Amino acid sequence: MLEALTAEIARQRSEPATAKADALKSEIALIKAQWKSDWAAQLDSDEEPLNQYRVLRDLMATVDRDNTIVTHDSGSPREQTLPFWETTVPGSYMGWGKSTQLGYGLGLNIGAKLAAPGKLCINIMGDAAIGMTGMDIETAARNDIGTLTIVFNNGIMAAERDVLVGSTQKYGTLTVGGDYSRVAAGLGLASNRVERPADIVPAIREAVAVTETGKPYLLEFVVKEGRDFSRE
């Protein structure tokens, strides 16, 4: 076994570095192309309620990612954003796992904007997350912190469904929701509620333009439940 390992290391060392790098890039590109093909129906979806992956596709294609810092909240928004968001420069993506409470991304996003005021700072959160920390967007409004908060509103808290079956049947434990664009307006933010695929890109452009004036914006997308996640 050691002889085989030694021989393989010698073989790899004998190959030109550029040739190995090119071969690896080609292999990765092929795998990625197949993976994106498998997800094309969701990324290109015109369904209503909106598909979260369609929103992410349009968001990534519309903003200047070289000048963007994006984060997400725990739960479904993390699972949906992490595999598909492609960064273009270091320090432009703040990803984190399940170790923090829902709503953590909102404060993280406000902090990012304070640290990098010239960047477009985006937080992607669900309706359960904004239900726990959403009043903090008033801080951004009061202090002219031009963040962009994106809310995926699907009317349900999905993460704990397997252990809250009985209480959900009796008391609607997992049922959440509301019109968060109206909540944002009441807290002094410009906002928009989007329900049609054709309105996604114009709404993103409008939101970005407002943040460029130093004002925060809340962009609410009415989305489907969305339990399909990529684990690859």
- 176 and 104 inside one domain: yes
Is the residue at 204 inside a domain?
A: yes
The Cα–Cα gap between 9 and 13 comes to: 6
- 101 and 174 inside one domain: yes
- Could you tell me the residue range of the domain that residue 124 belongs to? 47-222
The Cα–Cα gap between 171 and 24 comes to: 53
Distance set, CA 215 to CA 120, 203, 205 (Å): 11, 16, 14
- 105 and 6 inside one domain: no
pLDDT digits (tens, 9 = 90+) for 36-76: 999 999 999 999 999 999 999 999 999 999 999 999 998 88
Burial-class residue 106 by CB neighbours within 10 Å (0-12, 13-18, 19+).
buried
Is the residue at 159 inside a domain?
A: yes
| pLDDT score, position 20 | 76
pLDDT for residue 17 is more than 80 = no
- 13 and 99 inside one domain: no
pLDDT digits (tens, 9 = 90+) for 87-104: 999 999 998 766 677 889
Listed range (91-105, 106-120, 141-155, 183-197) with the worst mean pLDDT: 91-105
- 18 and 75 inside one domain: no
Residues 6+ apart with CB under 8 A from 113: 69, 119, 121, 140, 145, 146, 147
Average pLDDT of the chain to the nearest whole number: 91
* Total tally of structural domains belonging to the chain: 2
Is the residue at 170 inside a domain?
A: yes
The Cα–Cα gap between 147 and 120 comes to: 7
- 26 and 97 inside one domain: no
Intra-chain end-to-end CA distance of the chain, in Å: 30
- 215 and 160 inside one domain: yes
Residues 6+ apart with CB under 8 A from 64: 120
The Cβ of residue 62 has, within 10 Å, a number of other Cβ atoms equal to 16
| pLDDT score, position 4 | 87
- 26 and 61 inside one domain: no
pTM of the model: 0.88
Among the listed residues 62, 83, 8, 90, the one whose alpha carbon sits nearest the alpha carbon of residue 219 = 62
Confidence of residue 231 (pLDDT cuts 50, 70, 90): confident
- 56 and 23 inside one domain: no
- 15 and 128 inside one domain: no
The Cα–Cα gap between 196 and 71 comes to: 24
Find out whether 217 and 211 touch, Cβ atoms under 8 Å.
Answer: yes
Structure tokens at 169: 């049947």
Confidence of residue 7 (pLDDT cuts 50, 70, 90): confident
pLDDT digits (tens, 9 = 90+) for 158-207: 666 777 788 888 887 788 878 999 999 999 999 999 999 999 999 999 99
Q: What is the mean pLDDT of residues 123-144?
A: 94
Among the listed residues 64, 224, 97, the one whose alpha carbon sits nearest the alpha carbon of residue 154 = 224
| pLDDT score, position 101 | 79
Is the residue at 229 inside a domain?
A: no
Q: What is the CATH number of the domain that holds 143?
A: 3.40.50.970
